[in-house]
Structure 1
Amino acid sequence: MLQVKRLIARFWPVLRLRSIMFSLLLLVAALPGVAAIGLRVYENALVRRTEAELIAQGSALAASTAFGFTRSAVPTAQGPSPDPQDYDDRTISTHIDLRTTPVLGERPDPAPTALKPDPAAAEMALAWSPVIDQTKETTLAAIMLLDRQGIVLTGRDAGKSLATLPEVRAALAGKPLTTLRHNGAYRQSYALEWISRATDIRLHHARPIIVDGRVVGVILLSRSPRALFRGMYEDRGKIAAGTAAIFLFLVGVTAALGRTIVRPLEALSRTTRSLAEGRPAAPPQPTLRVQEIDSLIRDFATMAAAIEVRSHYLRDFATALAHEFKTPLTGLSGGIELLQDHGAAMSEAERAGFLANMAADTQRLNRLISRLLDLARADMQRPHEDASCDLADVLARIADGFASTGFTIELTAAGTPAHLGQIRLRIDGSALETVLTVLIDNARAAGADTVTLETALAGQDLHLMVRDNGSGIAPNDRDRIFEPFFTSKRAQGGTGLGLPIARALIEGNGGSLTLEPANGGASFLLILPRRD
């Protein structure tokens, strides 16, 4: 099976979307035509149309020839009376179906009989023979008049009997009947006529002639149905017009689909290549729009913007990282060179001083590496559907952990403590503790002696405000405090990665961390999703 799949994949053509859509639409458009020919729908319609014509002709001739009989000539005791429930001459109802109607053998020749034709019927046939002959020339149907005994009254077989035919027996009983019979005189005219089932059959329709409620004779008509190919040829104008209309419709639909789907995808492909090459990439704006393509373009624009932001972030991050590592590395490199060149001439105090500076630079590098790993883990964190923590427990642990002389953690909630204890958040408890620890450590480093944790419910979220009474954040630094490596406490060993790590942890759990305006000290707002 795998080899077959590989073989198919090897020779499978890579087509354009336009070609696939047009081919699919063309196939769908061709299906009704193929089905019509395959199921003989059109052919069956032609046969029924021929049957309807024979019924109409027979009805007209039966009604007309009935006037050829006089009331005195109609027998009163002979001939069956038709059942009015089974015979209705008001409508033309066809019942021939090529799929279900049996095809009888070729109609046998009339048989000799000792019976004499009915005089009244013979007189009527003689009077109506010109009308019958003219009708035969016009309709191309074979027409025979029979009397109430089934004896032929016209043509070369006059005087012979067809009373044994099923259709004649039915007509003599007052019921019109159409049968299908093989046509022995058929000769093939078209090369593909064998496809059609109706090419070598002939319809035979027998209809009673009724006078004063009595059957006095029978009109027997026969005709070959319109051949499928001949009917198609006669309707070639309609078929050609329909084919052209379908083709034009397909071209229009393909053009519309091309403008709504193919062109935007091609433009999006070009834009993607431009984005990959680092060139400006503006998403396409198609004139004809569909929701799925619009959604794809919006997603692409979001992705391009995210890539642009990420690119600037990585560039700035790399620059800041190089700067942060360059300072301690420069100190280490300088100390090593001094010790190598002048170490022997230095006093013990001088060497100890240089080694202490080098150790401090080494510790700073270790702190930077550790914080960078923390930032990377926080930045890659994504919300976990099972993450959960109890808000009251987390705040209690934070308050107990930082409680000390001269430093206070105050808790305030928009509700009773019992209500606060019922709140569960969709965030890992350790991540929330880490964020609050960073904010409280920064507050203590800024000289604060009180940190207030205020909670309030807002729809499906919890708002947690962290306020302190420290020295606050300089106005010029407020827009940069979440940038990696930005710190005003570098001399005290600050790395400038605490707040970026805190924001990454919160956003990785579906929340947000922002700096809010404050009259004194600093105020940070955490928006945390609640668990239902």
Structure 2
Amino acid sequence: MRRFAAALWPVMRLRTIMFALLLVVAGLPGVAAIGLRVYENALVRRTEAELIAQGSALAASTALGFRADGVQTDEGQPTEPSDYDDRAISTSIDLRSSAVLGERPDPVPTSLRPDPAALAMARAWTPVVNQTKQATLASILLLDRQGIVLNGRDAGRSLAALPEVRAALAGRSITTLRHNGAYTHPYPLEWISRATDIRLHHARPIIAGGQVVGVVLVSRSPRALFRGMYEDRGKIAAGTAAIFLFLVLMTALLGRTIVRPIEALSQATRALAEGRQADPPQPTLRVQEIDSLIRDFATMASAIEARSHYLRDFAAALAHEFKTPLAGLTGGIELLQDHGDTMSAEERTRFLANMASDTQRLSRLISRLLDLAKADMQRPSDAACDLQDVVVRLADGLGSPGFRVVFNQSEVTARVAIDGAALETVLMILFDNAKAAGASEVSLKGMRSATSLELAVIDNGNGIAPSDRARIFEPFFTSKRAQGGTGLGLPIARALVNGHGGQLELVNSQQRTQFRLVLGFFSG
């Protein structure tokens, strides 16, 4: 499963994941609000559909056998719908766009008398109306063609002025929203719902013989949001569980992509600080920033390990280099202390000369070590120098009948990104090594690229033994120890060049010794 997930997981940026997560979190309230409004609107429309169904049934029922001024119900049979009809009742109310009218006014007194036929119909259907009201909790009023109420406590009064009654008397069914002034708010959270204090009023014409003979006025408060939520508590609980599961999954995702790799890196860092093996983590689900951090950690761990090996080997070599002259000094001092009075002047002079030689070697070692330390601490900077000036100055200073530096001025004409003193030290070390190897001539050949100058330093000396080529840049390695060599010249030269962003390496050559010195052009 982990391999499958790793194969499908795209290596994204951390900021992308965080932005997506925050976007989802920021959108959750909006999604919930939209969902709540849509759900509430659906409840209102369902209430409207129920009112339409009740009004239609009552209008059709009361129209049966209706007589008003000689008008009689059609005897023809209505068209029967098919047994299966998936059409829904068409509704028109929308809480977002439908206007909410004021509370329905009370019926007003009128001098008109109710239509006798309509009044007879209302009396006959009173038991049906009462049972329907009890079952549906709706208010049902029957009106004649003049808008006069035929049932209930307001019988004999008129609602003809109501817009919905006028529309129904004109032959159109209509549903309106009105404020419900009698409603109280028993629950503190009902302010969330917009439909708590409104009431739906549906007016439907009673048609007999093609004429409007009365109106059915049905009204009811929409199904309460909180009651609807209670009835649909299972669905709401499932939605809540789905959101919680999503948050758990997002937490697990962030934990696996960010938290766990950082914790593993923390453990590896502690292991590295304690000198133990530090293995960087390999997360299953990868993120670019975490990947970069792991790579940087691995590079740092390798550099620290290499530096640790270097320091350990350097310390061992340093101890060996200091041990020999110190042993000579200690032995000479002991001999002088024990037998100084019985020694001849010649023996005493020889021992003192040996001790002086050991002291000079220690002094050279200390001086070279300081130079190496400075070179190792060298970092790229804006230093620059003219290569030709340095080469000409060294060639003039070292030129003699037995040694010369040969070069073409056009090949060494460049301003390179290295300190002049550092470059002079590097070339002096290479020239001194050539002279120590018996060379009578050192030639410099320059080759340019787009960003750097490659300088070949070639001498005609005795060359370097193949077995020594791999070790010439190791501190304290020298084949001229008897002649006073410290084995620190080439390590210092390479450290100085590397510190200025260049390269110094030995080129494989069968006959002559050749070094390759690469220096970047100064662009300041």
| TM-score > 0.5, shorter chain as reference | yes
CA distance 1:226–1:392, shift in 2 (3 Å): farther
Matches within 5 A, 1:81-96: 92-96=91-95
State the partner residue of 1:113. 110
State the partner residue of 2:496. 505
CA distance 1:499–1:41, shift in 2 (3 Å): same
Report the CA distance between 1:467 and its aligned residue.
1.1
Instruction: Answer with 333-342 or 503-512: which moved more.
Output: 333-342
State the partner residue of 1:403. 399
Matches within 5 A, 1:306-345: 306-345=303-342
**Using the alignment, how far apart are the partners of 2:68 and 2:444 within structure 1?**
118
Q: Any idea what the Cα deviations from partners look like across 1:199-219, whole Å, max 9, x if unmatched? A: 751313354649899988655
State the partner residue of 1:87. none
State the partner residue of 2:430. 439
Partner of 1:524, secondary structure, is: strand
Partner of 1:523, secondary structure, is: strand
Q: Any idea what the Cα deviations from partners look like across 1:480-524, whole Å, max 9, x if unmatched? A: 111111111122221111110111111122222111111223111
1:184 and 2:182 aligned: yes
Contact 1:102 1:180 in 2 (8 A): yes
Report the CA distance between 1:120 and its aligned residue.
7.9
Residue in structure 1 matching 2:462, options 443, 465, 471: 471
Q: Which amino acid aligns with 1:46?
A: E
Q: Which amino acid aligns with 2:335?
A: L
1:46 and 2:45 aligned: no
Report the CA distance between 1:296 and its aligned residue.
2.7
**Using the alignment, how far apart are the partners of 1:367 and 1:277 within structure 2?**
36
Instruction: Answer with 518-527 or 492-501: which moved more.
Output: 518-527
**Using the alignment, how far apart are the partners of 1:396 and 1:175 within structure 2?**
109
Instruction: Answer with 288-297 or 49-58: which moved more.
Output: 49-58
Partner of 1:435, secondary structure, is: helix
CA distance 1:330–1:181, shift in 2 (3 Å): same
CA distance 1:203–1:473, shift in 2 (3 Å): same
**Using the alignment, how far apart are the partners of 1:101 and 1:399 within structure 2?**
100
Contact 1:145 1:218 in 2 (8 A): yes
CA distance 1:394–1:187, shift in 2 (3 Å): closer
**Using the alignment, how far apart are the partners of 2:484 and 2:449 within structure 1?**
38
- RMSD between aligned alpha carbons? 4.2
Q: Which amino acid aligns with 1:221?
A: V
Instruction: Answer with 518-527 or 252-261: which moved more.
Output: 252-261
Report the CA distance between 1:317 and its aligned residue.
0.7
Report the CA distance between 1:225 and its aligned residue.
2.4
**Using the alignment, how far apart are the partners of 1:344 and 1:327 within structure 2?**
26
Report the CA distance between 1:450 and its aligned residue.
1.6
CA distance 1:63–1:404, shift in 2 (3 Å): farther
Percent of aligned pairs with the same amino acid: 59
How high is the TM-score relative to the length of structure 1?
A: 0.75
Contact 2:168 2:174 in 1 (8 A): yes
Partner of 1:456, secondary structure, is: strand
CA distance 1:159–1:466, shift in 2 (3 Å): same
State the partner residue of 1:19. none
Contact 2:145 2:213 in 1 (8 A): yes
1:359 and 2:353 aligned: no
CA distance 1:443–1:31, shift in 2 (3 Å): closer
**Using the alignment, how far apart are the partners of 2:321 and 2:239 within structure 1?**
77
CA distance 1:49–1:406, shift in 2 (3 Å): same
Q: Which runs of 5+ in 2 are unaligned?
A: 1-18, 72-88
Report the CA distance between 1:470 and its aligned residue.
0.7
**Using the alignment, how far apart are the partners of 2:252 and 2:95 within structure 1?**
45
**Using the alignment, how far apart are the partners of 2:211 and 2:298 within structure 1?**
88
Instruction: Answer with 509-518 or 356-365: which moved more.
Output: 356-365
Contact 2:48 2:175 in 1 (8 A): no
**Using the alignment, how far apart are the partners of 2:281 and 2:106 within structure 1?**
81
Q: Which amino acid aligns with 2:177?
A: T
How high is the TM-score relative to the length of structure 2?
A: 0.76
**Using the alignment, how far apart are the partners of 1:302 and 1:143 within structure 2?**
84
**Using the alignment, how far apart are the partners of 1:29 and 1:420 within structure 2?**
63
State the partner residue of 1:15. none
**Using the alignment, how far apart are the partners of 2:502 and 2:163 within structure 1?**
90
Q: Which runs of 5+ in 1 are unaligned?
A: 1-23, 75-89
Report the CA distance between 1:374 and its aligned residue.
1.1
**Using the alignment, how far apart are the partners of 1:122 and 1:508 within structure 2?**
111
Contact 1:151 1:158 in 2 (8 A): yes
**Using the alignment, how far apart are the partners of 2:212 and 2:302 within structure 1?**
93
State the partner residue of 1:380. 377
Report the CA distance between 1:378 and its aligned residue.
0.9
Q: Any idea what the Cα deviations from partners look like across 1:107-145, whole Å, max 9, x if unmatched? A: 443232223346787688679878866765665432334
Residue in structure 1 matching 2:294, options 286, 291, 297: 297
CA distance 1:429–1:499, shift in 2 (3 Å): same
Report the CA distance between 1:473 and its aligned residue.
0.8
CA distance 1:360–1:193, shift in 2 (3 Å): closer
Instruction: Kindly tell me the number of residue pairs found equivalent between the two proteins.
Output: 483
**Using the alignment, how far apart are the partners of 1:439 and 1:357 within structure 2?**
29
State the partner residue of 2:509. 518
Residue in structure 2 matching 1:205, options 186, 201, 206: 201
Q: Which amino acid aligns with 1:440?
A: F
